[in-house]
């Protein structure tokens, strides 16, 4: 897997490889282009974790996502104290893939 030093480098690298859409986290799903994707409707293809050196609010995870209908994009999510509220199924899927990236 490719290694990036910053979130912006990861986003640029993913965009160069076709992950050019933005996925957003909703409570029970991901949203992209007015479509909603439940836990089983997408795969996490790549994961990059970033930890702030001194500021815990700088901690983030960048996910390369591919939906079941072929959309490719990114999801940027905080973790720790800055993590978004989400369903337990979504939290399980995202954390399982995040832990594999370490």
Q: How many CB atoms lie within 10 A of CB 33?
A: 10
In a domain, 25, yes or no: yes
Which domain covers residue 83, as residue numbers?
A: 7-100
In a domain, 65, yes or no: yes
Mean pLDDT of the region 76-92: 69
pTM for the predicted model, two decimal places:
0.82
In a domain, 2, yes or no: no
- How many domains in the chain? 1
The single residue listed with the structure tokens 């970033």 is 50
Banded pLDDT at 55 (limits 50, 70, 90): low
In a domain, 15, yes or no: yes
């Amino acid at each position: 897997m490719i290694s990036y030093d910053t979130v912006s480098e990861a986003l640029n690298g993913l965009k160069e490889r076709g992950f050019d859409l933005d996925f957003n986290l909703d409570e029970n799903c991901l949203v992209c282009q007015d479509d909603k994707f439940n836990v089983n409707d997408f795969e996490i293809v790549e994961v990059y974790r970033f930890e702030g050196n001194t500021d815990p609010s700088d901690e983030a995870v960048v996910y390369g996502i591919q939906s079941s209908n072929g959309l490719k994009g990114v999801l940027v999510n905080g973790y720790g104290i800055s993590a978004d509220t989400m369903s337990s199924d979504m939290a399980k899927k995202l954390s399982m893939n995040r832990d594999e990236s370490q």
